[in-house]
Amino acid sequence: MNIIALTVLFASTAVLAIAQDNNSGLAIPHSDWRKELLSSYVFEQPRKVLPSASRPPVSVSTGPDDQAAVKLPEFIVRDSTINMFDLSTAILQSKAAAKTADFDSKLGIGVHELRESRVTLYAVTIFCIPVTLGIAW
């Protein structure tokens, strides 16, 4: 049964392909779409702009007492770029510290705090055994 269905499927596909080849006049002819898109953009040479004056305009100032002029203090431009090596080192160190803190918290090592208004209760533990207990206010 499966073999018959598969044969009918292949035969119908072949018949349809042959029929489409006979009607090839109905197909849309291929075109150079890049050429058609670029045909709407016509290149024009830029126009030469003649300067109105041969030298730049001179600013008009009445002297050192000019009220429109603001004198700023001198400043030094420094290299403010970040060294990427230092940045990646800091990221790696923070990841290592986070792993260590996570490992210590799973083992029950560290300082645990509980804050209630003005009173802080704290405990230092090693392997979940309290070593030091304290109260601070």
For residues 90-103, average pLDDT: 91
In a domain, 39, yes or no: no
- Tally of domains in the chain: 1
Quick one: pLDDT band at residue 128, thresholds 50, 70, 90? Answer: confident
Task: Report yes or no on whether pTM surpasses 0.85.
Answer: no
CB 104 within 8 A of CB 95: no
CA 135, CA 117: separation in Å to the nearest integer? 13
In a domain, 113, yes or no: yes
Q: For the chain, how many helices (H) and strands (E)?
A: 3, 3
Quick one: pLDDT band at residue 117, thresholds 50, 70, 90? Answer: confident
Nearest alpha carbon to residue 109 among 121, 123, 89: 123
In a domain, 127, yes or no: yes
In a domain, 84, yes or no: no
- What pLDDT, in 10s, does the model give residues 33-52? 888 888 887 777 777 766 66
In a domain, 128, yes or no: yes
CB 69 within 8 A of CB 61: yes
In a domain, 14, yes or no: no
* Residue 54, beta-bridge partner list: none
Range of the domain at 116: 108-137
Give, as one character, the DSSP assignment of residue 24. G
In a domain, 119, yes or no: yes
In a domain, 72, yes or no: no
